[in-house]
Amino acid sequence: MLKINDLRIGFSTPTGITPALKGVSLDVGRGETLAIVGESGSGKSVTALAITRLLPKPPAVYQGGSITFEGRDLLKASDTELRKVRGGKIAYIFQEPSTSLNPVYSIRSQMAEMISLHRPDVADVDAEIVRWLDAVGIVDPAKRLNDYPHQLSGGMQQRVMIAMALSARPELLIADEPTTALDVTIQKQILDTLRELQRDLGMAVMLITHNFAIIRGLARHVAVMYRGEIVEYGETEQVLSNPQHPYTRALIACIPRLGDHRHRLPTIESQVK
């Protein structure tokens, strides 16, 4: 469904262009789940955002490669085509739920916007919104309709983001570190919700995280990114049980396990300035 081939992206700074992605290739099949793991600054978010050209143009420079989605190269797609894909076909949820929702509009108006744009055929928009809020596990959704983002907790906000993203029935959901800003208990609930919804809707998910621990049981495939490149790609279980690349091994070693008595977790000396 989605095939990224040798994607190269740089950021122009006053002292020249700093490369961010140096030839990334990935593909996501229909209904599949792919996890992209890597430390911050490894280019995983850049990849995610590049897919529907969400990177702000002035600093970002597309240096090469292609992103084909359902046969079309999104890098060359016209604005109108791109707009249909954004939200309609590929939806996003982001890391900071508190700032990702517009503070001055109610939940209903922000979700209604999505539905009326991509599914004009829906007659009773409010009912549809309530259905999706319920689907993502928000208690008594009808009452929440007219609330404003600042009236909800972090977890609830992220649930609204998910409901909003899914309400347009996308074929691919890109979750850019969806649980990083949440505390651990909420993290698990959000990930479980994601897994159930993906199963029910049969949509593909690209999960971006720096935390190896959460991808087990969620993603069948995983790609490990380091310094703008994919250093390892494979089945999750297989990569976890026998990582090839030294960086992947170091990453896995850092995961704390129950009953582990080592005093300090091993750290990786980071090269990225």
Partner 1 sequence: MISFVIRRLVLSVVLLFIISIISFFIVTLTPGSPYPWGELNPKISPEVKANFRKKFHLDRPLHEQYGLIMRDLFSGNLRSIKDDRPVMSRILERLPATVALNLTSIVISLSFGTLLGVFAARYAGTWKDGAGSFIAFLFIALPGFWITYVVVVALVKGFGVPILGTHSYGIEFPNALASGLDTLWHLLLPATILALGGIASQSRYIRASMIESLREDYIRTARSKGLYEDVILLKHALRNSVRPIIAGIGMVLPALIGGAVVIETIFAYPGMGRLGYEAVLERDYPTLVALNFVVAALVLLGNLVSDLLSAAVDPRVRLE
Partner 2 sequence: MQGTTVLSSASSAQESPAARVLRRFWSNPIAVGSFVLILFFALTAGITVLLSLTGHDWPYNPNLTNLELKLLPPSSQHWMGTDNLGRDVFSRMLHGASISLTVGLVAVAVSLGIGMVIGAIAGYFGGITDQILMRAVDALLCFPTFFLILTVVALLGPSLLNIVVVIGLVSWTGTARLVRSEFLTLRESEYVKSARVLGQGAFHIITRHILPNAAAPILVTAVLGIPDAILQEAGLSFLGFGVQPPQATWGNIIADGKTYLLDAWWLNLFPGLAIFIASLSFYLAGDALREAAESKS
Q: What is the CA radius of gyration of the chain?
A: 19
Examine residue 104 and tell whether it contacts partner 1 (CB under 8 A): yes
Near partner 1 in 116-135, by CB under 8 A: 117-118
Q: Does 15 bind partner 2 (CB under 8 A)?
A: yes
Q: Which is nearer to partner 1, 11 or 148 (by Cβ)? A: 148
Site for partner 1 in 159-178 (CB under 8 A): 161, 164, 168
Query: Among partner 2, partner 1, none, what does residue 195 contact (CB within 5–8 Å per kind)?
Result: none
Q: Which is nearer to partner 1, 103 or 256 (CB)?
A: 103
**Binding flag, residue 54, partner 1 (CB under 8 A):** yes
Phi-psi category of residue 43: left, alpha or beta, with phi > 0 → left and psi -120 to 50 → alpha: left
Measure Cα distances from 240 to 66, 130, 214, 249 in Å: 29, 39, 12, 8
Distance between the two ends of the chain, CA-based, in angstroms? 35
Smallest gap from residue 88 Cβ to partner 1 (A): 6
Nearer to partner 2, 11 or 105 (CB): 11
For residue 148, state whether it binds partner 1 (rule: CB under 8 A). Answer: yes
Is residue 13 a contact point for partner 2 (CB under 8 A)?
yes
Rounded Cα distance, 166 and 29, in Å: 18
Only segment of 11-19, 30-38, 76-84, 152-160 that touches partner 2 (CB under 8 A): 11-19
CA distance 41 to 228: 8
Binding-site string for partner 2 from residue 58 to residue 97, where x marks contact by CB under 8 A and - marks none: -x--------------------------------------
* Count of other CB atoms within 10 angstroms of residue 14: 4
HSE toward the beta carbon, residue 55, CA cutoff 13 A:
22
117-155 burial, b at 16+ Cβ within 10 Å, e below that, comes to ebeeeeeebeebbbebbebbbbeebeebbeeebeebebb
Binding site for partner 1 (CB under 8 A): 49, 52, 54, 58, 82-88, 91-92, 94, 96, 99-105, 113-114, 117-118, 148, 150, 161, 164, 168
Binding site for partner 2 (CB under 8 A): 13-16, 18-19, 59, 227, 229, 271, 273
